[in-house]
Structure 1
């Protein structure tokens, strides 16, 4: 799925088909956040922070799905790509009902981006849009030089998203595999968990690669196929 910005840039973003609220493996610590997103996503501006592997991007994509299902417009802006964008990309985001901004830490300390972010925040509020913003750490705010932008971000409902333990990461891999109709066996998942970096983004990217290879070769995902795809011995 691609989204167009007012400065005529086109950002090609693949909406993660399986990243929904229902497919998010929650822990007790994340229960309040998930309930808030399900019931009040369009009532408040929300800021979440958590580690790279905590599932922040999953929740932003889930919010996009939720907006689409409820007949609302939405845009996803990954600021980790800010080096290939211009601050003008944030202009007029208020035309969307929901604006999902991922990895805000990438523009902290950049005065031009901070001014654009501040103007975009005001534009969204003035037009009744809702912002859903993520960062790797709450201290992103302390790295922002523009105090007015800090004030705007502090006005958001703020939640920490907690990492899953290995058992829940394993459950997340199984759930994603089942959602894709892969029928992956538990021994294969155990093999992935033993050999791969145990972060959700890495595990999900690996699962997508295995899905593609399985389709191309018309083979089930087995440990031999995993070894072929990864080069693991």
Structure 2
């Protein structure tokens, strides 16, 4: 094996990490939110686009908040990917792509009257400027009056603590609100060990603690590294020890 190709190949492994989904989300302390979203997607799969019951809006309108790295964006992307697989219209909104907001607003009337599900995800609500705050206010009003529009939003603080217009802060709490919690190091190690065991990969005890201190700490990158270590171990016919990891990452 040409070791000069390792950095490039490893970069490819990271880039080809699986798409975010609810099945590859590590729940930790987020079991209630994860379970709720699983129920939503299950309803989509059964083509129950419009939830029944007095609190139907709770199934179509959710906001979650937490620190960076707590899974906020992974969950939004998971719902976006699920919507795409099921052929639903989906709009991914964030502060950096204002054109998508305009496109959605142009279609609000038709989406609101439709009985077919449409899915809106809004990331980094805390970073919206005044124009996008006004846009989100109009979008939320349309979702409330709609037949089958879903909106899922995420930010870095609870609705009442956001530095946004009071009427928007209030509306963010009209549906379900959750706090997301980052995995602790012990939970990350446990998840990585389970992933390695599922591949039949045996890791030396010092490998995972070292990775948490010297490598990316986000789980998608760490999971991609497990895949890379598995392939490299098979190709080199070497056990996964710290020297092997250092060789793969070309660290000193």
Report the TM-score when normalising by structure 1: 0.68
2:125 aligned partner: 104
Deviation for aligned residue 1:136: 1.8
1:5 aligned partner: none
1:148-189 deviation digits (Å, cap 9, x = unpaired):
32222121210111222212112334556678x6x6543343
1:85-106 deviation digits (Å, cap 9, x = unpaired):
4452542465462212222112
Deviation for aligned residue 1:44: 2.9
Whole-angstrom CA distance in 2 between matches of 1:35 and 1:105: 25
- In 2, are the aligned partners of 1:47 and 1:132 still within 8 Å (CA)? yes
1:196 and 2:215 correspond = yes
- In 1, are the aligned partners of 2:216 and 2:222 still within 8 Å (CA)? no
SS at match of 1:186: coil
Whole-angstrom CA distance in 2 between matches of 1:46 and 1:63: 12
Cα distance change, pair 215–186 in 1 and its aligned pair in 2 (3 A):
closer
1:172-226 deviation digits (Å, cap 9, x = unpaired):
34556678x6x6543343431232354xxx342354477579879x957955564
For residue 75 of structure 1, the aligned residue among 90, 100, 114 is 90
1:91-148 deviation digits (Å, cap 9, x = unpaired):
24654622122221121xx211111111222233343311111112215753002x33
1:68-96 deviation digits (Å, cap 9, x = unpaired):
55x351535252xx345445254246546
- In 2, are the aligned partners of 1:90 and 1:117 still within 8 Å (CA)? no
Report the TM-score when normalising by structure 2: 0.64
For residue 116 of structure 1, the aligned residue among 132, 135, 138 is 135
1:38 aligned partner: 38
2:182 aligned partner: 163
2:65 aligned partner: 49
- In 2, are the aligned partners of 1:93 and 1:123 still within 8 Å (CA)? no
Whole-angstrom CA distance in 2 between matches of 1:16 and 1:197: 14
Deviation for aligned residue 1:231: 4.8
1:31-79 deviation digits (Å, cap 9, x = unpaired):
222222222466231101111111112222222344355x351535252
- In 1, are the aligned partners of 2:93 and 2:122 still within 8 Å (CA)? yes
Greater Rg by CA: 2
Whole-angstrom CA distance in 2 between matches of 1:136 and 1:25: 19
Whole-angstrom CA distance in 1 between matches of 2:89 and 2:106: 13
- In 1, are the aligned partners of 2:93 and 2:120 still within 8 Å (CA)? no
1:21 aligned partner: 22
What are structure 2's unaligned runs of at least 5 residues?
A: 1-14, 44-58, 112-116
Aligned length: 208
Cα distance change, pair 67–90 in 1 and its aligned pair in 2 (3 A):
closer
